[in-house]
Chain A
Amino acid sequence: MNRLFLSLCTVILLLPSVSPAMTGREVYEKVHELRQKALDRQVTATLVLFDKDGATRTRSLIEYSKNADPDAYKVLVVFQSPPDLRDVGLLVHARTFSDRDIWAYFPEFRRVRRIPTNSQDDSFFGTDFSYDDFSGPPNLDDYTFTILKEEVLDGKPCYVVEVTPKVHRKWSRFVAWVAKDLWIHLKITYYQGEEQYREGLFTDIRIVDTIPTSFKARMENITTGHKTELTVDNIQYHTQFPDDLFSQRSLERAGK
């Protein structure tokens, strides 16, 4: 799924223009393919959390990830600030696009904690993004896709696709605005039943190493009024990190 990092670092493939008769599945095959190619990267980002009263908390993080063939991917996220959270980390090992292990490390306890795999839709450490948003692309066979319409958003033509999971998730479906030719999400709305509960907007799209990347993402929890803004400060693709960087030992050492 990786809706956040899809927005952050999706690759444009210079493919011939898509036929207007594309199905939802075909749209997401493009999205998936490009995200897979964008998996080798290092991102430095700043997160600003807004509570319902408008009070803010800021934190910065570094994300390292790699395409871990024959496994799916590996991701390591390490918080840099504030001082209380320095070196708090998250490690994802995805064997396949639907089977992964997640661990968290809190330096004060000196213990690595395993995060239950069924927590993928839970809040990523109090932000409005989920653990899933900080993981790799999903397994397309776990979803059904329906194109609802085509629409222009922020001047960009989009496919509006409804995605419904085949297994139980915290949300019952989401509707995504996928920019044509860029294969990147510009907007995503999650539903619980008929109620909208989470909404993400991805803006400031720039091309980095031929990969279209959203430098600003904003996710809002409609129910709580809480929102989180993520700003990419720096991004590098094709990093080819060694496997050692994605070990539990490395998690305990904050990737050092």
Chain B
Amino acid sequence: MNLANLLRHISLKHVKLQRTYMLLAVSGICLGVAAMVSIDIVNKSVLQSFAESIDHITGRAALEITGAESGFPEELLERVQNVPGVEYAVPVIEASANLSGGSERAFMILGVDVLQDYKIRSYSLNDETTDIPDPLLFLAKKDSILLSQTMAKQEGIVIDQEIEVQTVQGIKKFKVRGLLNPKGPAKVAGGDIAIMDIFAAQAAFGNAGSIDRIDVSFLPGEKLDTMEARIRKVLPEGYSLDTPTGRTRQVAILLDRFQKSMRFIGFMVMFVGMYLIYNAVSISMVQRRKEIGILRALGAKGGEIIALLFAETCVISAVASVVGIGIGLGFAKLSVGIVAQSITDMYLKTSVTALTFSWTILFRDAAFGILASLIAAAYPAVSGVRSSPISMILPLAPTVNGFKLSRKLMAVSVLLLFLSSVILAAYGMAASDSAIRTTGAIFASALLLIIGISLLTPAFFYRSLLIFRHFLAPWLGAGGRLACINLQKNVSRNGVAVAAIFFSIALYVCSANAMHSLRVSMFDWIDSIIRADILISSGNPLVVGGAQSIPMPESLAKEIEKIPGLQSVEPFRKSSLDYGGRKIMLEIFDVALRMDYCPGMFAEGSKEEVVQLVPGQDNIMVNEGFAARYHIKRGDTLVLPTPDGPVRFGVAAIVVSYTSDSGIIWMDINTYRRLWRDTLVDCYEVRVKEKKDIPAVRQAILDRLGKNRHLFALPALEFRNEIKKIMESSFLITHAVNIIVLIIAGFGIVITQLASVLERTREIGVLRAIGMKKNQVAGVVIIESALIGTVGGFLGAAAGLLLGWIELEGFFRLDYGASIAYHIHYASVAWAIVLSAGLAALAGFYPARRAARINIVEALTNE
């Protein structure tokens, strides 16, 4: 009989009969594949969308010149234009705007020199890519704007219509002079884009005479390296010169965190899935022992039986992987917006209109799922066919717990645990710039720890049973002792169930504690940093700075100060600069004023020193993550690019700030305005004299200033709570995955217990025949389940606490700083143990019911 026939006649029948078990067993693989697929698709889609946006926006430009985020003088343009080999060098302004009224649609403004920009980007004032009835009028009038056809259609806007747009200068009226067909730049940000002539854009959205970027194309035959060198010669220091793909590269770095954490989750889920596959194959071996024995007796070789089991696993896991791909697509659809938003905040309005995936990636993820299943199935399949055909046909003998409790396995597990601790110790003792202080090292340590404990589980379970038998079983009477004996009979398989519980509980406790620690640290930090009473912003109430924010002029401060009842008005500006190839966030505020009322959190340095050293001077503060990455200590100096060239800054303090994992620099607003000549403000932080006046002052601000500008004035308490809510929601995915893992582990117990019941059908029959009641039989099975759950729970809780610390250390402290303290969330630990015991007991109900319903006569004849 060939493999296909065996699959059709034997495996298919088995799958049909045991479809519920099969479904449970493959759910882990299915979710693991789903997690991996969603990560890959989200990543690819966001990067693709960003790269396309960059392509459309940069057009034929081979190089981009950028300076400070606040812009740089346009005089540089002529210098670049005169570089030999430069074909075109065109200025660009990128800004954000909102339609005022109606949908309040946010869109991107691209300010370009329309007289020559079409030479770089694929549109022109009067060809088929645009519909501009009067190009001269478009150029001549300050209020001219071109909208993408997509956006105009959705908003019901037509040519020559006047629209109100929220700008830096307040709400301004613009006239739609034309529509851009959905080609080239008009496709950027899903069509949420408008194009203005550079002068008009400067007047409405930036500083006159200042530009954000120069896009450069080369004459035919010129080489990138040569041109880069030539252009660099004419650029002052501090300007960045990169290819358009360089921006995509920076985004890839930003996505790295998302990728890392999602891969970790995917790996965890897949691991649980492997436990379940292991269990399912083990059960399959028990259930089909006789059938396999007959096949062997009829001449089937051990290798053929293994091939059959592998083929079954392969087919089932392939189906699971395909379903996983479907679920992964769903996950990706749900999460892609969130990831795209983070790119929008930091770089460019990125709107993912369609998911991008490659068949190769989907195939790779599915193959990984199948491979994981085959690895999980290997041990039970191989060990299952080792017995002789006759012993397989005969009734089951009590299981021998061989390899799983062997000294060899113990030695391997101890070795793995030792290696894990060595890595951890080395990591802990290494200097911050050491090569070992990487996420990879910490991940390796966690992996070794998990595998080490997993291998140790049967031995731990065996010893736990001994303790239980001595101290607790007598309290539970015969049922307790019987449960203990039954579990001891097959420690190997029960050990796997314990390991599954251990793993899921460890994952739960690990995440719960890492998240709790993050939550406590971040909430403390938010409370320490947002001490004003009202926060005034424009563009988005909860986003201060970045692509969603519409800056306000500094003159607005004077208007705000006129409102009665105010104690102080503090401007806040968020910008960024390139440092060491990364985009570093620059947070600018009035340091003297802020230190007056805000405690701040200092890792190195003090408030007094900061007040003395920073205001108006070339001294800054950096956050811990930045300090660790670039090995900076208080008192060091570092050179930062400014519009007028590099300036050396002293580091007055190392501060705690979690706004960005790329690194944060705090600068005094007077220093910033002096060096950057940028007077815009992203947020005004207002303090009122009497706290009871906050609502009245807020209303007065909106009444007085909200006519010419769409402002948001949020009471700080509300702002803090909203930010906390956003942070909480970011933990939701992790919580959801934990719960799913826990449920899958619960199913694992059901499968294990069912196998155990099936294995003991005759024995249960005997017990029932000698007078044991149905509820007593059921009670034994439930106690067994609860015992598996409790042991797994304790082991998982202990390992989870350690893993939580490792996760915090390797995934968060590395980027955010050492100030994130590890806070044990005792409730989650207690919950985990109660939950594991309770869930396990609950999982035992079905097998218990089945055991109780065993027909005594049939059971006694069961061979």
Q: Is B396 located at the chain interface by the 8 A CB criterion?
A: no
- The reply to whether the CB of A19 lies closer than 8 angstroms to some CB of chain B is no
A168 to nearest B CB, angstroms? Answer: 10
B140 at the interface (CB under 8 A from A): yes
CB within 8 A of B116: which of A79, A106, A116?
A116
CA distance A236 to B140 in the complex (A): 29
Cα of A115 to Cα of B125 in the assembled complex, Å: 15
- Contact string, B122-157, partner A, CB cutoff 8 A, digits 1/0? 000111100011111111111000000000000000
Cβ of B126 and Cβ of A106 under 8 Å apart? no
Which partner residue on chain A sits nearest B220 by CB separation?
Answer: A168
In the complex, whether B626 has a CB less than 8 A from a CB of chain A is no
Distance (whole angstroms) from the CB of B111 to the closest CB of chain A: 13
Check if A49 is an interface residue, CB within 8 A of chain B. Answer: yes
A178 to chain B, nearest CB (A): 28
Candidate in A55, A84, A116, A125 with the most chain B CB atoms within 10 angstroms: A125
Residue B502 CB within 8 A of the other chain: no
User: Does residue A111 face the partner (Cβ distance < 8 Å to B)?
Assistant: yes
Partner of A116 from B115, B134, B137, B139 at Cβ < 8 Å: B115
A93-127 near B? 1/0 per residue, CB < 8 Å: 00000000000101111010101101100110111
Residues of B within 8 A of A108 (CB): 140-142
A51 within 8 Å of B (CB atoms)? yes
Contact flag A57-B133 (CB < 8 Å), given A88-B140, A108-B142, A126-B126? yes
| B199 CB–A CB distance under 8 Å | yes
The reply to whether B140 and A85 contact each other, CB–CB distance below 8 Å, is yes
> Considering the chains assembled together, what is the distance between the CA atoms of A104 and B136 in angstroms?
11
Contact indicator A126/B132 (Cβ below 8 Å): yes
Give the Cβ gap from A125 to chain B, nearest Cβ, in Å: 4
The reply to whether B127 and A119 contact each other, CB–CB distance below 8 Å, is no
- Chain B residue nearest to A87 (CB atoms) is B140
For the complex, is A17 an interface residue (Cβ under 8 Å from B)?
Answer: no
**Are B140 and A226 in contact, with the CB atoms below 8 A?**
no
Contact B139 A125 (CB under 8 A): yes
Q: How far is the CA of A113 from the CA of B114 in the complex (A)?
A: 12
Task: A113 to B125: give the CA distance in the assembly, Å.
Answer: 17
**Please, which residues of chain A bring their CB within 8 A of the CB of B203?**
109
- Is the Cβ of B126 less than 8 Å from the Cβ of A224? yes
Q: How far is the CA of A59 from the CA of B132 in the complex (A)?
A: 16
From B139, which residue of chain A is reached at the shortest CB distance? A106
Cα–Cα distance between A226 and B128 once the two chains are bound (Å): 11
CB distance from A124 to the nearest CB of B (A): 9
- The chain A residue with its CB closest to the CB of B132 is A126
Q: How far is the CB of A240 from chain B (nearest CB, A)?
A: 30
Q: Are A123 and B126 in contact (CB under 8 A)?
A: yes
From known contacts A51-B133, A115-B115, infer whether A126 and B142 are also in contact, taking CB-CB under 8 Å.
Answer: no
A71-87: CB near B (< 8 Å → 1, else 0) gives: 00000000100001100
Please report which residues of chain A, range 221-251, place their CB below 8 angstroms from some CB of chain B when the two chains form the complex: 221, 223-224, 226
A residues in contact with B132, CB < 8 Å:
126
List, in ascending order, chain B residues with CB within 8 A of A115's CB. 115-116
Interface string of B193-224 (1 = CB under 8 A from A): 00000011001000000000000000000000
Cβ of A85 and Cβ of B116 under 8 Å apart? no
Tell me the smallest distance from the CB of B121 to a CB of chain A, in Å.
15
How many Å lie between the Cα of A210 and that of B127 in the bound state?
40
Residues in B with CB closer than 8 Å to A113 are 115, 199
- What's the least CB distance linking A77 to chain B, in Å? 12
Contacts known (A111-B199, A116-B116, A119-B115); A126 close to B136, Cβ less than 8 A? yes
- The distance in angstroms between the C-alpha atoms of A104 and B133, with both chains bound, is 20
* B contact residues around A104 at 8 Å (CB): 115, 139
| A84, A116, A226: the one within 8 Å of B126 (CB) | A226
Q: A51-B133, A57-B133, A84-B141 are in contact. Are A223 and B128 (CB under 8 A)?
A: yes
Q: How long is the Cα–Cα vector from A128 to B602 in the complex, in angstroms?
A: 66
Residue numbers in A under 8 Å from B134 (CB-CB): 49, 57, 126
Residues of A within 8 A of B88 (CB): 116
One digit per residue, 1 when the CB lies within 8 angstroms of any chain B CB and 0 when it does not, for chain A 123-158 equals 101110000000000000000000000000000000
How distant is B467 from chain A, measured CB to nearest CB, in Å?
86
> Measured between C-beta atoms, what is the minimum distance from B271 to chain A in Å?
62
A123–B139 CB distance below 8 A: no
Chain A proximity of B623: nearest CB distance (Å)? 42
Q: Is the Cβ of A109 less than 8 Å from the Cβ of B133?
A: no
With the chains together, A122 CA to B88 CA distance in Å?
Answer: 15
Q: Is B135 touching A126 in the complex (CB atoms < 8 A)?
A: yes
| Complex Cα–Cα for A129 and B199 (A) | 24
When each residue 190-212 of chain A gets 1 if its CB lies under 8 Å from chain B and 0 otherwise, what string results? 00000000000000000000000
Question: Is the beta-carbon distance between A88 and B136 smaller than 8 angstroms?
Answer: yes
A123 touches B125 (CB 8 A): yes
Assembly CA distance A223 to B124 (angstroms):
13
Please measure, in the bound complex, the distance between the C-alpha atom of A184 and the C-alpha atom of B219, giving whole angstroms.
Answer: 37
Interface string of A40-51 (1 = CB under 8 A from B): 000000000101
Name the CB-closest residue of B to A111. B199
**B128 contacts A224, C-beta separation under 8 Å:** yes
Residue contact B135 to A125, C-beta cutoff 8 Å? yes
Contact A55 B116 (CB under 8 A): no
Bound together, the chains give a CA A119 to CA B200 distance in angstroms of 21
Q: Return chain A residues, CB-CB under 8 Å to B126.
A: 123, 126, 221, 224, 226
CB neighbours of B127 from chain A (8 A)? 223-224
Q: Which residues of B contact A223 (CB under 8 A)?
A: 127-128
- The B-contacting residues of A in range 150-191, CB under 8 angstroms, are none
Query: Are B125 and A109 closer than 8 Å at their CB atoms?
Result: no
Q: Tell whether, in the assembled complex, residue B142 and residue A85 are in contact, meaning their CB atoms are under 8 Å apart.
A: no
Cα–Cα distance between A199 and B134 once the two chains are bound (Å)? 20
B142 contacts A109, C-beta separation under 8 Å = yes
Could you say which of B116, B133, B140, B142 contacts A119, with CB atoms under 8 Å apart?
Answer: B116
Q: A55-B133, A85-B137, A126-B135 are contacts. A109–B199 as well, Cβ < 8 Å? A: yes
By a CB distance below 8 angstroms, the chain A residues around B128 are 223-224
CB pair B140 A106 closer than 8 Å: yes
What is the bound-complex CA distance between A221 and B125, given in angstroms? 14
**Interface 1/0 per residue, B317-361 and A, CB below 8 Å:** 000000000000000000000000000000000000000000000
> How many angstroms between the C-alpha atoms of A85 and B144 in the bound complex?
13
- State whether B136 touches A85 (Cβ < 8 A): yes
How long is the Cα–Cα vector from A234 to B734 in the complex, in angstroms?
A: 79
Contacts of B133 in A (CB 8 A): 51, 55, 57
Residue of B nearest to A168 (CB): B220
Contacts of A109 in B (CB 8 A): 142, 199-200, 203
Chain A CB within 10 Å — which of B116, B125, B126, B138 has the most? B126
Q: What does the 1/0 interface line of B684-709 toward A look like (CB < 8 Å)?
A: 00000000000000000000000000
Query: Smallest CB-CB separation from B135: which chain A residue?
Result: A126
In the assembled complex, the CB of B485 is this many whole angstroms from the nearest CB of chain A, namely 91
Compute how far the CA of A109 lies from the CA of B137 in the bound complex, rounded to whole angstroms. Answer: 13
A115 to B114, CA, bound (A): 11
CA–CA, A85 and B199, complex, Å: 16
CB<8 Å pairs between A and B, sample of 23: A57-B134, A79-B136, A84-B141, A85-B137, A104-B115, A106-B140, A106-B199, A107-B140, A108-B140, A108-B142, A109-B199, A109-B200, A116-B88, A118-B119, A123-B125, A123-B135, A125-B135, A125-B136, A126-B126, A224-B126, A224-B127, A224-B128, A226-B126
**Interface residues, chain B, with chain A CB atoms under 8 Å away:** 88, 115-116, 119, 125-128, 132-142, 199-200, 203
Knowing that A84-B140, A115-B115 touch, tell me 10 more A-B residue pairs with CB under 8 angstroms. Answer: A79-B136, A85-B140, A106-B139, A109-B203, A116-B116, A119-B116, A122-B115, A126-B134, A221-B126, A226-B126
Q: Could you list which residues of chain A lie within 8 angstroms of chain B, going by C-beta atoms? A: 49, 51, 55, 57, 59, 79, 84-85, 88, 104, 106-109, 111, 113, 115-116, 118-119, 122-123, 125-127, 221, 223-224, 226
What 10 A-B pairs come out closest when comparing CB atoms?
A126-B135, A125-B136, A126-B136, A109-B199, A106-B140, A116-B116, A108-B142, A88-B140, A123-B126, A85-B140
